[in-house]
Amino acid sequence: MSHLVARFRAVLRVGTFLIGTLFGPGLAVFASDVPSNPEWIPSTEESIVIDGVVDEAAWDHAWSTELPVEVRPGENTPAPVRTQVLVTYSKTELYIAFRAFDDDPEAIRAHLSDRDQAWNDDWVGVVLDTFNDERRNYLLVVNPLGVQMDKIEAWPDGGAVWDGIWHSAAEIFDWGWSAEMKIPFSTLRFQRSDGPQTWGFDAIRGYPRSVFHRLGAFPRDRNNNCYLCQSIKIEGFEGVSPGKNLEIVPTLTAARYEERSSFPEGAVDLEDDDVQLGITARWGLTPNLTLAGTINPDFSQVEADARQLDINQTFALFFPEKRPFFMEGADFFETNLNVVYTRMMHDPAWGLKLTGKEGVNTIGAYVVEDDVTNLIIPGSQSSDVTSLDRSNTSTVLRYKRDIDDRFTLGALVTDRQGGDYYNRVAGVDGDFRLSDTDRIFAQFLVSDTRYSADVAEEFDQPDAAFDDWAVDLLYSHETRTWSFWGFFRDVGEGFRADLGFMPKVDFRHSEVGANYNWIGEEGDWYSQMVLIGMVNYVEDQAGHLLRNEAAVRFNYEGPLQSHAFVRPSRVREAFADQIFDLEEIFLHICLKPDRHSHAWINIIDGDRIDYTNVQAGERLNIDAGFWYRFGSHFRIEPHFTFENMDVDEARLYEARIGQLEASWQFNARAFVRAIVQHVEYDFNTALYSDDRDPEFEHLFTQLLFSYKVNPQTVFFLGYSDNSQGNQDYPLTQSDRTIFAKVGYAWVF
């Protein structure tokens, strides 16, 4: 471990030197191009009713701008429709209004849907860089029926789901539609200042017709890799207050779980009947620093995970995080190496989190006591997963420091410990914007791990403490018409990030690639086309080939909101001491021909390794689906995945996964939804070296009623069950669950 500590200290010394140098007198060289005359936002003391009708007197004195340009797919071309934006504020709220004019109001795309699910409709939105750091912004969007969408964007490629508590309404007229937003300052994080503040600002409009037009408040320079550096600067907000900035959310959850005691012939008996009271509190210590705590929280996943094909896969599958406690400030913990993956924390008893930004310093920290220890045991060609019925304490510390709008340096520490097991990771990272077109990302990490004796024995891991390191480097050069990149990642055999998602270790990955863009003009048969080429080489730490790939991809966007790509590739892959030469083609097509529908299909055809029996085969994978809306309320979405694989002797397996989702949206707050997932696998067991059933069948159903006043004040009532079958017995119910959740947010 001493040699790794020495390396880590050396990196810290370099980072400290860079910070000291760049924070010295020469820092002015990189000073932001903040306009000397930002737009002044006037305040108001008049009341504004959020009803979607922009008729209050306060709007007559608000700051006003328009969205004069189409920024995508057009390149700063005149906007096809007129949009007016109004901004004002009181001591406790920010107010924003839109008038979205439309020559053909009958063509407006507007549907009732759950929160964050209306991106295919018409919409208007606002971008707020409240710290004016040109790195991170809030995005708040509303559709013509008042459905809210919001998230946090971290540039250039990061961000996180975010569920803020704010108010909105919209109304459709014969001239178009209008929308109003009221955003409490307690919902936002912003600079701590007694005087006026300067924010970065953009207003945007989604105008979907045959092409999805995106309109903006200012022209975008596509030769500049910093979007927020180009944003409008607005000034004001002197004396604004988030109030007490205290949010308390008690939750009551109840679940009755029944399971067939002896499958498949036993009775379905009560297995667990549980009622739990939890509480989560969030306190804004300052306008820019938030402390959150939770005791006996509800960490349930109300939404079912989409079923993923798990046949002939060698590495663990990734599922996105949806739990509110972990979603808050999640972008603070993002790095190129995925060493923080909160779904590894399965059943927390309590949690404490601190996030915020003070000047140029960003901090994030949390501690969670988890009653279950989930582990991914990584390798160079496959990974294993296990779950241990023992508790652990997980700690994550994150720090970043901005150096003007050019550079960001960061440090990250994770620690997970339970009994005689521990895993610790520490490292530094940096984002270096060398110019408007050139950027470097770098990260260096070391880990120290000790598995418990039973885990070490079962998964053939070291029976004593072990350590290793990982490094990640990415260089990109981006211009309006072309770009290229170089990438290198080196992860040692003994590197572990047990609080992250890194199922692959013991490899070195080198890659170079380039692409060229064609941007269409009005009247062209395409909106955009991109030609991409790349080649990579992956080897293990001993220098043995793991994978060598060369691929070309051609992207197309055009009328009917169509998008397609074709990607042929040639791969040389090593597995289990054999080398295979593989060729494959990937085709994707999707389109949205009208306001009510969207259809897509993915086809992958070509060579693939049969990892179970270590032989070459030919695989066909088809993934297709569509959704259709009947009016504003009813939506159906069937989705089907099919895969088969042939080897020299015969058909090896065939897999079919079908899912049907149907929902009725009563209004912007309430819906009822039914999901049916059916899985069917057929194996030619004569061609398998392991012992498996020739048939496997699984059926999952879920019925859910949801009512949301806001993201935290909610009521859920649902039912779900699972059935299984094989060659010996038909589909038989194995378990069923009835669950309910009530949460209420008190905001002070």
- For 425-446, how does the pLDDT look when each residue is reduced to its tens digit (9 = 90+)? 999 999 999 999 999 999 999 9
Of 7, 1, 2, nearest in space to 444 by CA: 7
pLDDT in tens, 239-256: 898 877 888 999 898 888
Instruction: Judge whether 109 and 595 are in contact, CB under 8 Å.
Output: yes
Statement: residue 298 has pLDDT above 90: no
Q: What is the DSSP string of 407-463?
A: EEEEEEEEEEEETTEEEEEEEEEEEEE-SSSEEEEEEEEEEEEE--HHHHHHTT--S
DSSP-assigned beta bridge partners for residue 504: 379
The answer, yes or no, to whether the previous bond of 264 is cis (omega within 30 of 0) is yes
Instruction: Judge whether 420 and 452 are in contact, CB under 8 Å.
Output: yes
Tokens at residue 683, please? Answer: 């194996």
Burial environment of residue 270 by CB neighbours within 10 A (0 to 12, 13 to 18, 19 or more): exposed
Statement: residue 63 has pLDDT above 70: yes
**SS3 category, 15:** helix
> What span, in angstroms and rounded, lies between the C-alpha atoms of 714 and 600?
33
Section 685-691 average pLDDT: 90
> pLDDT category, 13, cuts 50, 70, 90?
very low
Which distant-in-sequence residues (6+ apart) come within 8 Å of 27 by Cβ? 403, 404
Statement: residue 322 has pLDDT above 90: no
**SS3 category, 522:** coil
**pLDDT, position 320:** 59
> What span, in angstroms and rounded, lies between the C-alpha atoms of 469 and 3?
11
**pLDDT, position 271:** 79
- Name the DSSP letter for residue 174: T
Section 289-299 average pLDDT: 80
Statement: residue 315 has pLDDT above 70: no
- Cα dist. 581→174, 569, 603, 616 in Å? 62, 11, 20, 9
Residue 551: alpha-carbon gap to chain centroid: 26
> What span, in angstroms and rounded, lies between the C-alpha atoms of 435 and 234?
25
Percentage above 70 pLDDT, the chain: 91
Q: What is the mean pLDDT of the chain?
A: 89
**SS3 category, 106:** helix
Statement: residue 31 has pLDDT above 60: no
Section 412-423 average pLDDT: 95
Please indicate whether residue 111 or residue 271 has the higher confidence score (pLDDT): 111
Of 598, 600, 619, 617, nearest in space to 609 by CA: 617
Instruction: Judge whether 379 and 504 are in contact, CB under 8 Å.
Output: yes
**pLDDT, position 25:** 35
pLDDT in tens, 135-165: 999 999 999 999 999 999 988 877 777 888 9
> pLDDT category, 307, cuts 50, 70, 90?
very low
> pLDDT category, 30, cuts 50, 70, 90?
very low
Please, how many CA atoms are within 13 Å of residue 409, restricted to the half-sphere of its CB?
16
> pLDDT category, 20, cuts 50, 70, 90?
very low
* Range with lowest mean pLDDT among 91-95, 564-568, 644-648, 740-744: 740-744
**pLDDT, position 444:** 98
Statement: residue 68 has pLDDT above 70: yes
Which H helix or E strand runs over 4?
helix 2-22
**SS3 category, 687:** helix
Instruction: Judge whether 712 and 247 are in contact, CB under 8 Å.
Output: yes
Tokens at residue 682, please? Answer: 């057929």
Section 517-522 average pLDDT: 90
CB atoms within 10 A of CB 463: 12
**pLDDT, position 317:** 45
Which residues of the chain form CATH 2.60.40.1190? 35-236
**35-236 CATH pick, 2.70.210.12, 2.60.40.1190, 1.20.120.80, 3.30.70.20:** 2.60.40.1190
> What span, in angstroms and rounded, lies between the C-alpha atoms of 81 and 85?
13
Which distant-in-sequence residues (6+ apart) come within 8 Å of 193 by Cβ? none
**SS3 category, 686:** helix
Which distant-in-sequence residues (6+ apart) come within 8 Å of 731 by Cβ? 697, 699, 723, 724, 725
**pLDDT, position 538:** 97
Please, how many CA atoms are within 13 Å of residue 382, restricted to the half-sphere of its CB?
11
